[in-house]
Chain A
Amino acid sequence: EVQLVESGGGLVKPGGSLRLSCAASGFTFSTYNINWVRQAPGKGLEWVSSISGTSNYIYYADSVKGRFTISRDNAKNSLYLQMNSLRVEDTALYYCARSEGWGPGWFDPWGQGTRVTVSS
């Protein structure tokens, strides 16, 4: 069964840092692009970042560029999101999701999410 499991969320003060992880299983991790998507409380979905299978291609939303860093360890079947200079508006449920299909593709499946709260 294809599965993604996020971890690492928590409560952090504005300006602080946090590192999220996403553990993958059930598929050949290194051959897939993986994404981070977040959802603020009561709000919609926002794409955050994407990384190609070999880490050659990395993309960020403007809202996190320069503050967040996506990375992966294919030997550990794991994806990471290093979040620095956190802001209150970064408070959200963070999902990892696998890219599928042709062109930019779609996201399937999604993990269950890990919650990040930025508050003083």
Chain B
Amino acid sequence: QSVLTQPPSVSGAPGQRITISCTGSSSNVGADYDVHWYQQLPGTAPKLLIYGNTNRPSGVPDRFSGSTSGSSASLAITGLQAEDEADYYCQSYDSSLRGWVFGGGTKVTVL
């Protein structure tokens, strides 16, 4: 069981908007530790997608956006494209565990 909870899968048609939730607790996201998101394309290493809850690294399309509210965070993908098919992971820091924690990952399928 992952400390951060994500839905196992989300799907959408090309051009649609989808969201991936990441639910934490009072020792991580709820304690105001930042949430970061990673994209892992099949057979490749994870790549930073969103950092500090809402920020996009250079080169990441603005179709990707992050938000937080209380003990939860969300990743939104607008204008879904075939190349967005990947696994997505949220990450935060947990003060009780004294370490970094990840969500279980969400597989995005473009229909």
Contacts and interface: CB of A to CB of B under 8 A. Distances in A.
Contact of B33 (A59, A95, A104): A104
A26 interface: no
Contacts, number: 65
A108 B91 CA distance: 12
A27 interface: no
A100 interface: yes
B101 interface: yes
B contact residues, range: 20 to 34
Interface string B63-105: 0000000000000000000000000010101000111111111
Interface of B: 2, 33-34, 36, 38, 44-48, 51-52, 57, 89, 91, 93, 97-105
Given A44-B2, A104-B100, 5 more contacts: A45-B102, A104-B93, A107-B36, A109-B48, A112-B45
